[in-house]
Amino acid sequence: MGRRAERRTILLCVTGCIAAYKSCEILRALQKQGYRVKVLMTEHAAQFVGPTTFRALTHEKVAIGLFDDPEDPIHHISLAQEADAVLVAPATANIIAKMAHGIADDLMSTTLLATDAPVFVAPAMNAGMLRAAATQENLECLGQRGVTLIAPGTGYLACGTVDAGRLEDPEVIADVVIDALEASEDLAGLHVLVTAGPTHEPIDPVRYIANRSSGKMGYAIAREARRMGAQVTLVTGPTELEAPRDVDVRHVETAAQMYEAAAAAFDAADVAICAAAVADYTPTRVASRKLKKRDGKLDAIALTETVDILASLSSCKGRRVVIGFAAETNSLLDNARAKLASKGCDAIVANDVSRADSGFGSDTNKAWWLDACGVDELPLLEKHELAREILRRAGAMARKDFSQS
């Protein structure tokens, strides 16, 4: 279990566009997924975002001019050879035209011409420039040559209009690049069901019972399962997260709704990974109006136990694989073993949510894998790394079951 792709390098090319500031967000999104990012800027880009910003974010030299680095007299070749992928974001009409026509008159254009790495282009420009016949022909040319185009969206542009030409969301751009680099067939032919996030159990029109789950772990599992070739259904409670691309996402609010959605999706699933932090109890009656304090107190709220989704899916799983999570604050392994025995699932992923580096909302997770063979302590991992490890193990279980059926 290593860092993402042994720290492969992505060369981020930033051109002279008002959207250049969003390149910082793209850079951080790539770094969070374990990639090393180097930045190559045009001189015009430096008028929008200074190279110092990118040096601070990457801890790397920032390349701008052909002859800026006396230690590397053929800088465009070394940059081209070092990159595992090249991302031009934002890409102006000018750099797109240079790429299409093989013009190499600065460091960026010479590097783009020299590289054999996969190239991704995310255009951003005025709507008129984008629709111009020359730009459209240039984009078509790049697409035919194998360049991956990340189409701009529609939104508020710098010129003050709402139209096409807005740079795609930074998280989406990063996701497209990583999808291409991490694509595998490890889970091809499998349908993976993932539950994620908290549930909200309404008390009245303005209050609800919930927990601190961010949904990050479940979303990471869904995203990585798709990258590993699986068909993925994500049943998610309320979160602030962007839905993974190319995943069947079913939004729910309450535990009852999550149970219904998960049970329906489970019919077609081969693997179910229950990462959601489902409320154990829900109010017996939901008030039709906001409850008021009486003498400084709120009336007692009667609670009813919710459906146990993990146990329910496990009870009818047959040869399907069901994985649960145990988020604990004390006696972690004892509680996880008890949960594995009582729920009837194939494995439990236990983590100590009282830890700062493994709690709700963190980007890392310290986990233990428990199954019929025993307990396996995993190192502290980024959540996307832990997601891959869980999916490798769950996939192996599913393949074994298939071979025995």
Which token pair is 60? Answer: 């790397």
Q: Which of 162, 181, 200 is the last residue of a domain?
A: 181
Question: Is pLDDT above 60 for 153?
Answer: yes
pLDDT at site 403 = 52
Question: Is pLDDT above 70 for 355?
Answer: yes
Q: Left (φ > 0), alpha (ψ -120 to 50) or beta: where does 310 sit?
A: alpha
* Domain assignment of residue 267, yes or no: yes
Q: Which of 164, 181, 198 is the last residue of a domain?
A: 181
The total of structural domains in the chain comes to 2
Instruction: Kindly state the percentage of the chain with pLDDT values over 70.
Output: 96
* Domain assignment of residue 1, yes or no: no
Query: Quick one: 101 and 193 in the same domain?
Result: no
Q: Which of 200, 201, 275 is nearest to 234 (CA)?
A: 275
Query: Quick one: 188 and 92 in the same domain?
Result: no
Query: Quick one: 219 and 173 in the same domain?
Result: no
CATH number reported for the structural domain that contains residue 146 in this entry: 3.40.50.1950
Instruction: Kindly state the percentage of the chain with pLDDT values over 90.
Output: 82
Q: At what angle do helices 93-101 and 133-144 cross, to 10 degrees?
A: 50
Query: Quick one: 163 and 266 in the same domain?
Result: no
Q: Which residue has the higher pLDDT, 77 or 118?
A: 118
Query: Quick one: 169 and 201 in the same domain?
Result: no
Residue range 136-163: average pLDDT? 90
Q: Which of 181, 208, 224 is the last residue of a domain?
A: 181
Which token pair is 53? Answer: 């910003």
Among 28-42, 61-75, 91-105, 136-150, name the one with the lowest average pLDDT.
61-75
How far apart CA 72 and CA 232 sit, in angstroms, is 46
Of residues 13, 24, 141, 159, which has the active-site annotation? 159
The whole domain housing 258 covers 184-404
pLDDT at site 6 = 60
DSSP state of 340: H
Query: Quick one: 156 and 194 in the same domain?
Result: no
Residue range 276-280: average pLDDT? 96
The pLDDT-based confidence of 72 (bands split at 50, 70, 90) is: low
Residue range 210-217: average pLDDT? 94
Q: Which amino acid is at 19?
A: A
pLDDT at site 2 = 42
Q: Which residues pair with 194 in a beta bridge?
A: 234, 273
* Domain assignment of residue 17, yes or no: yes
Query: Quick one: 171 and 195 in the same domain?
Result: no
Decide if 159 is catalytic: yes
* Domain assignment of residue 2, yes or no: no
Query: Quick one: 304 and 220 in the same domain?
Result: yes
Query: Quick one: 205 and 343 in the same domain?
Result: yes
Query: Quick one: 227 and 258 in the same domain?
Result: yes
* Domain assignment of residue 165, yes or no: yes
CATH number reported for the structural domain that contains residue 277 in this entry: 3.40.50.10300
* Domain assignment of residue 30, yes or no: yes
